[in-house]
Structure 1
C-alpha cells in the first residue's frame, strides 16, 4: 500500500470569519475556513481547500481579475501570495498591523490594503516587468483618517478609491499623484461608516453607516443666493472650479431595529444588498431606494455579503454558526446553503462505497458529507444530546448512531428518515457502537455500566446483555468477514464474543494498561488496541496471543497549552492515541489522539511510515511545542487576556457567555481556547484516502496517483512509442499490457477506449491474471467522470465472466477495485432512475399521441372505402387530362374523396415515423 498521502480537502467547515470573494466569471466562491481558504465551484458542485496554512485565522481574501493571484491575510497582518491556478505559495509578507480590508484594482496593476488608520497601495507582482528585488513594491501610503479604516473600494477605471473609517467619515483618493487635488472628505454620518461605493458612471458616490443611513453624493454646483446674477449661474464650471464640489443630494434610511453589519453594491444593475445584525438582509434598487426583497438567514448577524459579476448571485456569511449561503435573488432560490457543526466533532464513518462521510457532534446533529463535492447532503437532528458514535451497515443504505440521550437510532439513507430507535432497560449514556456485517444485530455500551447491549434490527427488541467486564466499556468493534465482536474496557482487558455461537464462548485478553481505542482487522483475525501508556498492541484472535507492539510515545508531537506550567515534553495528557484504524489490506495502521500528529505505521515491520501535522494554527492550544517567552507574564500569557472590553463598538464589548463554558447558551461563544485533537480517524474503503475529525474540521488526506510514476514489470523495449505503434496495428492485448507495464494513465486510457466493442470479450478472456486487478481499479477510477457508460459496463461484465473463479478465490486483492466499481454502478443507477422518472409523463404523452394517430388512420380508411373510386382516377396520358383533373377535383371536393386520400397518405407516412420512434423508446 502506498503511503504518499497529502492533504486534499477540508469538510465540515464552510465559513469562519472575514470576507467572501467571487471569481471574475462568478462561478467560484472563496471562503476563509479557519487558517485556510476553501474554493467552492458552484457550477460543477465541487470544492477544494488550498494546501497552505496561515499561523492564525484568515481575516481577508483578495483575488485579481485574471484569477491568477490570490492574496490572503490573517488577523495579525501576515499575508501569503498564492498562485491561484497551481495552488502554490509564491511569497510571504508581513504588514505588521491588523488588516481590515484588501482590494485589487479592476485592472489588477495595484492593490490597496487598509492597515490600521492608513491605506497602503502596492504594485501587483508581474512577471512581464524587469526583475525586481522584492515581489511587493509599495506605491504610496495614504493618511487622513483618525481611526481604523473599515473598507476600500476602487472606481471602475482604477484611478480613484474611496475609503471609510470609524471616525465617521469617508475619503476620496487618487492613485496618481498628479490628481492629488481630487482628495475629498465626506462627513455627515453619525456612526461608523462601513462601506462606500461608486456608481457605474462614477458620477454618484454612496456611503452607508452602521446606524442605517445611506447618503447619496454628487459633484454639483454650490447653492447660490437669489441676489446672484444670471451671468454667474451660466458661468462654466471649468472657469470657476470653486463652485463645484461633492455634496449630499439625497438621504435615505433603512429604519431597521438592528445595526447594519455589511453591504455590497453592483454598479451595472444598481443593486444594493445590506446585511443586519439580526440576521436580516435586504435588496434595494438605487438611486430610487426601492426595496426589492427582505429576507432573513437566521437570528445571528450577517458578517459579510458579496455579489458576483452578473449581479445574479449573492453570497452571505455568518460567523457565529459557520453559515454560508449563495442566493439567487431573481428566482428567490438558494444555490448553496451550508452550515458546519458548531461544536466539536466526535466521530466519523465512511460509507461502504467511500463516496460519503458521516460526522456526529456534541451539538446533537449528524451530517452526511459528499467526499467529491465537499457539501453537506443531509442533516439529522432527532438526537436530544451529544452523538458519540456512527456506523454504517455493510450495504451502506442503513446507518446507526449512538448518543448520550440513551438511544441508538437507525437511519434510512434512501428516504433520509429515522425508522428504528433502540433503548436499554434503563436510561444510560451510550458512548460506543458496533454493527454486525449482516446488519441484523447492533451493539452499544456505556461508561455508566459494565454491560454490552445487543438489539435485533428487525424487531428493535433487546435480545441480549453481555456481562463480564469489571469496568466501563470504552470501545466496540465487529469484524468485516464474520460476526465476531471485540470489546475493550477500563478493567485492562479485551474480550472477544461469539454472538451466534451456541456455546457463547468468550476469550479475555489481559492488557497492561487502560484501553483507549480498538480496531479489528478486516479479515477478523487480528485486533489492535491503543493503551493509556502510549502503546499499540496487536492480538491474534484465534490463538489468543499478542503478535506485535508499537511504542507510539516517541512518535507523537506534543504541544504546550497556554495555561501549562510545564513543558510539552513533560505533558502526559497527549502521549497516547485515542483513535486507530486498519487499512483495507490490514498491513497499515493510522493513529491519532489529543495531540497535533497523525501517525501512519507499517504493521509487519512495526515502523513509522509517515507523520502528519494536523494544524499550525496558533489560535488553537497545543499546536506549539514552545511558547513565546515575550508573551508570558506573572499573570499568565497575554493571549489569554480578554481584550473585548477595549473595542469601540458597544455590541462587540458585551459578553453574555459563562466563563469557561464550552456548552450551553450560545454554543459558538466560549471563553476557553479550543485545543488541538483528533477525535476520530478512518481509512476510506477504496484505500486511496483517510479522514480525520479534528478541531479544524474533517481533514481528508489522499494519494494523487496521477503524478506518481510507478511502472510494473518494465522492459527496455517497452516505450510509449512502441505501445502506440502496437495499437495502430490493432494488437489490442499486447498494447494494453504494454500500457499497464509503463503505468502511464493517459496511455492506458487511450488504449482502453481504442479497443472495439466486439473485441472486448476476447481481450478480457486472454488478459493475464496479474493485470485483472489493475484494469478493474483503472475502470473504477475513470468510470465516475467518463461519458462511455456502456463501454465501461461491457468491460466489467467481460472481466467478471472470464475470471470470476480467480476473483472469487482472491477477494482480498480486489476489494479496493470492486468498491470503486460498486460506487460507479450505484451512482449511474440512481441517475438512470431519475431520468426515467423525469421523462415518464413525456413517454406516456408520446404513446397516447401515437395511439390517437392510429385511430385517425383507421377512420380515414373507412371513409376512403365508402367513396367512388372511379371519380378520382386520372389518366396522365390523356390530352384532356387538365379537364378531367378539374372535374375530378370538383367532384371530390363535394364528396371529400381527394382530400381524404391525400390526408391518408400523409397520415400513413407520419404513422410510420411515429411507430419507429415509439419502437426506439420501447427499446
Structure 2
C-alpha cells in the first residue's frame, strides 16, 4: 500500500480572521483560515485549500489585479509571495512588524504595505527582472498612530491611508509638484475605511463611530504635475527661500532602501506660493447608532456602482448609495462582529466574514438572497465519520452541532450549502457520530444524555434514544445491519442498547468498573467490543442474551478500540502510549507497538516541565485501520499522526498536521526572549480578543468587552478515519477537518518508459488507428491530458475490441483512470461503456486481485453513484414537469371543449328563439 498521502483540503472551517478577497472574475472567494488560504468557487460550488501554510495565523492578503499573485502576511509580519496559478511559493520576506493592510496598485506595478505608522511602497514582483522580489521604492511617514486601511486612485497616481489617530493622509505615488501629502481630519474615532471616487481625487472616509465624511478635491487626476529636478530656484536669495530648500531636502532623503517622505506642517506663505491640491469637506453623514457595542468594524466601496457597504459589531450591515447617502438595504446577518467585507468586480455579490463564529457569507443584494452561507464548528471538532460510499463526511463538534456535507477531495471538497445546516442542536457537545451501513442515517451521541438518528432523505430527527436515568454518552456504535444502536456512559459505566426500528431500549450492559471510552461493532459478527478505563476490553455477544463473551486484560486504561475491516483482529490504544493487537476469537494478544516516543509533543507555555518529560504522559486517543487492514492510523494529543505497519510492528510514516505557532504546545522549547523575572510574556493578556483592543480614555471608563481574552488553543487530534476507498484519510483537529489523499495528478511517475515513448509517437498510432497500442504508450508516458485524449479518440463501436486486446497489467490502471475521469467528464455513456467492457471481459482476473483493486472499484462506484443521484433528481424534475404540462393541456382541452359546447348551445338557443319568434308571428297572422 502506498503511503504518499499529501494534504488535500481543509474543511469545517471557512474563515478565521483577516481580509476577504474576490477573484478578478468575481466568482471565487479567497478566505484566510488560520495559517492557510481556502479558495471557494461559487460558480462550480467547490472549495480548495492551497498547499502551503505560514508559521502563524494570517492577518492580511493582497491580491494582484490580474489575479495571478497573492501576498500573504501572518501575525508576526512574515510574508509569502504565492502564485495562484501554480499554487507554489515564489518568495519569502519578513517585514519584522505586524502588517495592518496591503494593497496592489490598479496597474499592478506597485503595492503598499502599512505597518505601525508607516506606509511602504514596493515594486510589484514579476514586472521587472530582479533577484529580490520585494524592492522598496518609498517610505511614507505621516500618521502618529497605527495605519488601518489603504486605497488607490484608478490611475495609480495617488493613494490614501487611514489611521487610528483619526486622520487620513493622501500621498502621491510619484513626486508630484502639487501633491506630496495632504492630511484630512473631521473624525472623532479610528478611521476604518477610506475610498477614492472613480477617476477622481474625491474621497470618502468612514470612522469607527459611524461617521462618513465626503471630501471634494479642487484638482482632477490630470491636473497632477510631475516634479522635475530643474524646477528648483537657481539663486536662493532670502532666508525664507533657503529654509524652504532645506525643508525640501529634509523631506526627501535618498538611501539604499528608497525614498523617505515625511509629512510636515506648511506655513501660510508656502501654501500661497504653491497651488497644491486642496480638499474641502462637502458633507458629513451618520449611521444609526445603538450604543458602543454597535461600532462600525468593516467597510468596502464599489466605485463603478457608487455603493458603500458597512459592517457593524452587532452583525448588521448597510448598503448606501454615495454621495447622496441613500440607504439601499439593511440586514442583520449575525449577532457577532463583522470582521471583513468585500465586493466582487460586478458589484452584485458582497462577502462577509465573522471571526468569532467562523462564518463566511456571500450576499446578493439585488435579489436579497444568499449565494454562499457556511459556518464551520466554531469550537473544536470531536468526531467524524465517512459515508459507506466515501462520498460524504459527517462531523460533530463541541458547539453541539452535527454537520453533514463535507465532500471528499475527489470532487475538490464540494460543499452544498443546504447540507451544512446543523441537523441537531443539543445542549452539550457532540461526542461521537457515525453512519449506518445504508448511508442514509446519521447517528450522534451527546453529553446531554441523548442519542439522535437523522434521516438524510428528509433531513429530520426521526429517533431520539434516551436512558432510564440521565447519563453522559461519550461513545457510540451501530452494528453492520443498522438495527442495533449502542452508547457508552462515562458516569454510570454502563452500555445501553436500542432498536433502530422501534426506538425502544433493549438492554443495559453492566460489568465495567470505569467510564466506557470507546465502542466498536464487529463488521462480520454480532459482537460488540467495549473499551474502558478499568483496563479491560469486553466482547459482548449480541445473539446470546447480550452476555460477556471474552474479557481482554490491558496494561493500562483503555482509550480506543477498533476492528480490522475483515473482523479478524482488534486494535486497542491504552493510556501508556501503546497499541496492542488482539485476536477476538482466541482472546490472545498478537503484538503491540510502543508509540509514546513517536508523538513528540511540544511544551505548553504554562508547563513547568520540559516537552520530553511531558511526552511521557501522552497517548493515542483515536485509532483507525487502513482499507486493506495492513496498517493502523493513530493520533492523539500532539501535532503528529502516525501510520504503523501491523505485521512488522514498526512506524512507517509520520504526518505533521500543523506548523501553526499560534497554537499552544507546538515548539519543543520555550522562547527565552519572552522570559522575564516575572514569567513568560506570552502569558500576558493584551486585551480583548476581537481585535479592537481595550481603550481606556478616562479613569473608570472602559470600552470593549472585558470578558474577552486572547487564548492559544492546544493542538490535538480528536478523531481519525480512513476513507472506504482507501485513497484518503481525514482527521478532526484544532485547525479543522484535514483531509490527506493520494493525489497522483501532480506526480510524474512513468513506468516502462523509453526513448520511443513520446507524444508524437502516440499521436502517430492514433492516426494509424492502432487504438490499443496508443493506449499502452499513453499509460507508459503517464500524462493525464494525453491519456484522456487517446481514450476519447477511440470510436464507440471499437471499445469492446480494444478492451479485449489490452494487456492485463494495464486493465487496472485504465479502470482507475476511468473512475477519475468519470467524476468530472460530461461523456457519461462513453466512460460507462469503457467501465462495463473492462469489468465484463476481465472480471475473473480482477476478482483474483480483489483486495488490491477494491479502492479502485469503490472510487468507480462513488462516481457512478454521484451521477445517478444527479440524474435521478433531474429525471424526477422533468417527469413532474411533463405531468404538469399534460395535466395543463388536458385542462385547457376540457376548457376549450366546454367553450365549444357552450357556443353550440348558444347557437341552438338562438335558432330555437328565431323559430319560436317566427311561429309566434305566424300565429298572430292566423288570428288576424
After TM superposition, the structure 1 = structure 2 runs for residues 653-672 of structure 1, keeping only pairs within 5 Å, are 654-657=704-707, 672=711
Does the Cα contact within 8 Å between 1:174 and 1:180 map onto a contact in 2? no
Structure 1: distance between partners of 2:702 and 2:49: 30
Q: Secondary structure at the match of 2:301?
A: strand
Q: Secondary structure at the match of 1:581?
A: strand
- Deviates further, 711-720 or 295-304: 711-720
After TM superposition, the structure 1 = structure 2 runs for residues 433-448 of structure 1, keeping only pairs within 5 Å, are 433-448=476-491
Q: Secondary structure at the match of 1:518?
A: strand
- CA deviations 1:585-607 (Å, max 9, x no partner) are 01122111001111122222222
Aligned position for 1:356:
392
Q: Return the match for 1:703 from 733, 739, 742.
A: 742
- Using the TM superposition, give the Cα deviation of residue 706 of structure 1 relative to its aligned residue in structure 2, in angstroms: 1.8
After TM superposition, the structure 1 = structure 2 runs for residues 29-68 of structure 1, keeping only pairs within 5 Å, are 29-68=29-68
- Using the TM superposition, give the Cα deviation of residue 631 of structure 1 relative to its aligned residue in structure 2, in angstroms: 0.6
Structure 2: distance between partners of 1:81 and 1:269: 31
- Deviates further, 374-383 or 555-564: 374-383
Q: Return the match for 2:870 from 831, 834, 847.
A: 831
State yes or no: 1:426 paired with 2:469. Answer: yes
- Deviates further, 269-278 or 800-809: 800-809
State yes or no: 1:687 paired with 2:685. Answer: no
Does the Cα contact within 8 Å between 2:178 and 2:276 map onto a contact in 1? no
Structure 1: distance between partners of 2:696 and 2:308: 24
Structure 1 alignment gaps of length 5 or more = 222-237, 658-668, 859-923
State yes or no: 1:561 paired with 2:626. Answer: no
* CA 486–203 in structure 1, closer or farther in 2 if over 3 Å, else same: same
- Deviates further, 508-517 or 847-856: 847-856
Does the Cα contact within 8 Å between 2:179 and 2:277 map onto a contact in 1? no
Aligned position for 2:167:
169
Structure 2: distance between partners of 1:297 and 1:854: 49
- Using the TM superposition, give the Cα deviation of residue 799 of structure 1 relative to its aligned residue in structure 2, in angstroms: 4.0
Q: Return the match for 2:285 from 246, 252, 255.
A: 252
Aligned position for 2:669:
626
Structure 1: distance between partners of 2:272 and 2:488: 89
Aligned position for 1:611:
654
- CA deviations 1:829-861 (Å, max 9, x no partner) are 222222224334543466579889999999xxx
* CA 489–857 in structure 1, closer or farther in 2 if over 3 Å, else same: closer
- Deviates further, 833-842 or 326-335: 833-842
Aligned position for 1:114:
114
Aligned position for 2:625:
582
Aligned position for 1:894:
none
Q: Return the match for 1:598 from 641, 645, 653.
A: 641
Aligned position for 2:905:
none
State yes or no: 1:129 paired with 2:176. Answer: no
Does the Cα contact within 8 Å between 2:562 and 2:624 map onto a contact in 1? yes
Structure 2: distance between partners of 1:80 and 1:142: 23
- Deviates further, 464-473 or 356-365: 464-473
Does the Cα contact within 8 Å between 1:520 and 1:528 map onto a contact in 2? yes
- Using the TM superposition, give the Cα deviation of residue 712 of structure 1 relative to its aligned residue in structure 2, in angstroms: 6.2
After TM superposition, the structure 1 = structure 2 runs for residues 455-474 of structure 1, keeping only pairs within 5 Å, are 455-474=498-517
Aligned position for 2:407:
370
Does the Cα contact within 8 Å between 1:712 and 1:742 map onto a contact in 2? yes
Q: Return the match for 1:142 from 140, 143, 151.
A: 140
- CA deviations 1:669-690 (Å, max 9, x no partner) are 5665311100011111111111
- Using the TM superposition, give the Cα deviation of residue 809 of structure 1 relative to its aligned residue in structure 2, in angstroms: 6.6
Does the Cα contact within 8 Å between 1:173 and 1:180 map onto a contact in 2? no
* CA 573–48 in structure 1, closer or farther in 2 if over 3 Å, else same: farther
Aligned position for 1:490:
533
After TM superposition, the structure 1 = structure 2 runs for residues 201-350 of structure 1, keeping only pairs within 5 Å, are 201-220=199-218, 245-257=278-290, 258-350=294-386
Aligned position for 2:84:
84
Q: Secondary structure at the match of 2:797?
A: helix
Q: Secondary structure at the match of 2:837?
A: helix
Structure 1: distance between partners of 2:630 and 2:164: 60
Aligned position for 1:14:
14
After TM superposition, the structure 1 = structure 2 runs for residues 527-538 of structure 1, keeping only pairs within 5 Å, are 527-538=570-581
- Deviates further, 31-40 or 706-715: 706-715
Structure 2: distance between partners of 1:731 and 1:483: 54
Structure 2: distance between partners of 1:598 and 1:580: 10
* CA 397–807 in structure 1, closer or farther in 2 if over 3 Å, else same: farther
- Using the TM superposition, give the Cα deviation of residue 199 of structure 1 relative to its aligned residue in structure 2, in angstroms: 0.7
Aligned position for 1:660:
none
Q: Secondary structure at the match of 1:705?
A: coil
- Deviates further, 739-748 or 609-618: 739-748
- Deviates further, 770-779 or 310-319: 770-779
Structure 1: distance between partners of 2:777 and 2:528: 46
- CA deviations 1:315-365 (Å, max 9, x no partner) are 111111111111111111111111111111111111122221111111110
- Using the TM superposition, give the Cα deviation of residue 62 of structure 1 relative to its aligned residue in structure 2, in angstroms: 0.4
Aligned position for 2:150:
152
Aligned position for 2:828:
789
Does the Cα contact within 8 Å between 1:32 and 1:58 map onto a contact in 2? yes
* CA 745–64 in structure 1, closer or farther in 2 if over 3 Å, else same: closer
- CA deviations 1:522-553 (Å, max 9, x no partner) are 00101111111111111122333222222212
Aligned position for 2:251:
none
Structure 1: distance between partners of 2:104 and 2:58: 17
Structure 2: distance between partners of 1:217 and 1:373: 46
Does the Cα contact within 8 Å between 2:21 and 2:29 map onto a contact in 1? yes
* CA 811–120 in structure 1, closer or farther in 2 if over 3 Å, else same: same
* CA 270–407 in structure 1, closer or farther in 2 if over 3 Å, else same: same
- CA deviations 1:366-397 (Å, max 9, x no partner) are 11222333536232233221110001111211
- Deviates further, 139-148 or 793-802: 793-802
Structure 1: distance between partners of 2:84 and 2:299: 26
Structure 1: distance between partners of 2:317 and 2:696: 21
- Deviates further, 500-509 or 627-636: 500-509
Q: Secondary structure at the match of 2:379?
A: coil
- Using the TM superposition, give the Cα deviation of residue 462 of structure 1 relative to its aligned residue in structure 2, in angstroms: 1.6
* CA 594–852 in structure 1, closer or farther in 2 if over 3 Å, else same: closer
